[in-house]
Amino acid sequence: MKKFLIIIAVLALLLLVATTERLPFREKLANSIEALAVRHADKLPLARIGSYLFDKNCASCHDDPAMKTPTRDALSQQSREGLMIAMEFGKMQPMAAHLSKKQRGLIALYLAGDDEEHYDWIGQMQCQQPVGDDQRQFVANWGLGLENRRFVDPDLAGINRDNVATLELAWSYAFPRVTDMRSQPAILGDTLFVGDRAGRLYALDRFTGCIRAHTKVLSGIRSALTLATLSNGKSLLIFADSLASIFAVDPDTLDIVWQQRAGIFDYSVVSGSITYYDDRVFIPVSLYEVAAAGSPNHICCKSHGAVIAMDATNGDINWTWHATDDAVPQGKNRDGIARYGPSGAAVWSTPAIDKKRNRIYFGTGENLTHPATDTSDAIIALDIDTGRMAWKYQAIAGDVWNAACLNGGANCPENAGEDFDFGASVIIADRTDGTQILLAGQKSGEVFALSPDPEGMDGTVLWRKRISQGTSNGGIHWGMALSGNTLFVPVADPERNNAGYTPRPGLTAMDISNGEIIWQQPVKRGCDFDYANKPLVGLENTRAAKPLDPAKQYECSFFYGLSAAAIATSELVFSSGLDGRVRAYDGVSGEILWQTETAKRFAATNNVAGHGGAIDVAGQVMADGWLYVLSGYSMFGQLPGNMLLAYRVNPEKEHDDK
């Protein structure tokens, strides 16, 4: 009876939160209710609340045949994540703009319904063998270490020049109701943890793909999975979902230990990944509003980036660093819609930890509206304990841009910039002379080396090198990799009709002592592309466009650059393309030693319909002779896919070659 009364109380409070505008004095209460609701989602009829919200806000169009909109039944065939994307910045964004993120989430939960029919294969994939004794952390976080070097030690890699050519597909997983694979797995011993955009979290045997444990959360898993070993000896697996909620789960059972909201605005989202250090987690906060600004009726813009430090034992917030001051009215745009600023400076890179100096480093993106701030397109250094700024380096001043600029929308700022974010995570590097430097890559196509001990508050540049001209969707995206004194830099550079612009997609190796280029290996499309199938640029164009023929997309991809983060060993560097190709390069010469295509159909081990696509964001990880690749990323008109691919070195072929 007591449990029943508690559930009724939670339902009443949750309904109040979901159906009314959130006021400041209710924020903490709302967060607590949301956390409790997530923990007991299986006992709460949250879909009932979503049904109420749909009836109130959506039914007048979707239940009326004369409106020629998708019916409830048609909408129910989509995943929660797909429905959320449509309401966040897709075709439904203008109609859903008055709803809070949690209200949109409840509508998506209701429409997607009970999806268990898509997961009847789980019971057939259960492991029969217990977990092994191996406790090596092959992949514990995004940067494969606190310094974000994305370097794999030889004793953990198991893949080298001699055996890389023998890599072959051992098993594969296709994830239902998913078109994007972006959450980097974590690997502990013989267990691979992976999350998907349908909100499912799995613990798999990394050798066979059988399932050791699984669970689900209310929204898609967006960040990399981070392993944390606390000072009290307990272990946690930490990640962010698409609603900017942070989860800490027990890696043995996948039960939720704590959950905390990281969103400081309705448009807040965690695009980067979480860094764990010394019983604290550091969360980069980005924003969807850059896309929503493309809607003509959107009041632009009130959100900004942030970094939040939380207590890893319970999720309590220790401090929050804000990228700009709170936005205030800045007049109206040419269509008479109110305009706010400052805004933007999203943080979508993963923070690096400098234990020696007790600092945290990360990059920021452009401002969305005027006035411009000196924290946009910048590398920021904060004190780990307090969150106070130690110094900053701004690469480009006055870069004010949002998605309205793609189609001449009224929300495009005057004297708009180029949208040249620092998206690649800052790397802390050791030079041969014993000194340290910071390495940062920008969408402008430039690489910067900064001093971690600048002479003032404005940072000190040691060298900078341009390797491409960059665009809003080009240049250096998700991450570079460092092996010794060599930095490997993937460049995305799509084709654009910009005056004077020449795309230079490919992989570059640089000497970190001076920024000189060691070698460059360009990538090419390698097929005849039909430009009638070219993805459209701009929110309004995308909304109005007819769906592209998937077969035509996979036949020859428009995008083929290197956007995903690279990983390196002492001998090799792996970098994967937006056309679904995975390549292994010799780190010294740049020669391609192995490659495979993933943008194709797969007979998945779990008997789910599978197709690979673009490789973006995390790309690939490795562990002791195995390479794990995430294939599929439909954002920006790229190739959708739903595959986790496990490749292994074939010891017999390796022996034959010798």
Write the pLDDT tens digit of every residue in 221-251. Answer: 999 999 999 999 999 999 999 989 999 999 9
**How far from 252 is each of 197, 216, 218, 226, 459, CA to CA, in Å?**
22, 15, 20, 14, 44
Residue 357 is which amino acid?
R
447-413-295 Cα angle (round to 5): 105
**How far from 478 is each of 148, 262, 492, 564, CA to CA, in Å?**
12, 21, 10, 5
The string of pLDDT tens digits covering residues 204-213 is 999 999 999 9
Decide which of 7 and 446 is more confident. 446
Strand, helix or coil for residue 367: strand
Residue bearing tokens 């309590």: 316
Which of 110-119, 238-247, 433-442 is predicted least confidently? 110-119
**Would you kindly state where each structural domain of the chain is located, as residue ranges?**
2-119, 122-657
Checking if the pLDDT of 86 tops 80, the result is no
pLDDT at 334: 95
pLDDT at 546: 58
CA–CA gap between residue 615 and residue 257 (Å, rounded):
32
pTM of the model: 0.89
Strand, helix or coil for residue 551: helix
CA–CA gap between residue 79 and residue 61 (Å, rounded):
20
Percentage, residues of the chain above pLDDT 90: 70
CATH architecture designation of domain 122-657: 8 Propeller (2.140)
pLDDT at 3: 47
The string of pLDDT tens digits covering residues 279-311 is 999 999 999 899 889 888 899 999 999 999 999
Q: Are 388 and 315 in contact (CB under 8 A)?
A: no
**How far from 21 is each of 18, 44, 102, CA to CA, in Å?**
8, 22, 11
pLDDT band of residue 75 (cuts 50, 70, 90) is confident
pLDDT at 165: 97
Residue bearing tokens 């919200």: 53
Strand, helix or coil for residue 150: coil
Residue bearing tokens 């008997």: 607
